[in-house]
Amino acid sequence: MANIPPFGLCRSLANPVVASATAAAQGVLTPMPCVPATPAPWVAGAVTVIDAGAPALDDISCLNCIWAGLIRFSTAGQVTHNIP
């Protein structure tokens, strides 16, 4: 929650909150607010730039959510430097 705040809507039936809301709606998929559950580290990154002992995140980095989702950057956020 500190680094990845809740965002968008989760549509994964693997998420118990979505499954419960869908069951309450008699099987009609009911997306619920996304609250990322991410126990694994980010995948990929800029191996030439190390930050706090790990590769810096870049626009191809991704993070898996335990509810079968994939979190990616919509924009790199850095426009003044390219990371090789």
- Checking if the pLDDT of 51 tops 90, the result is no
Structure tokens at 45: 């990154």
Measured between its terminal Cα atoms, the distance across the chain in Å is 30
Whole-prediction pTM: 0.68
Question: What count of other Cβ atoms lies within 10 Å of the Cβ of residue 15?
Answer: 22
More confident position, 27 or 60: 27
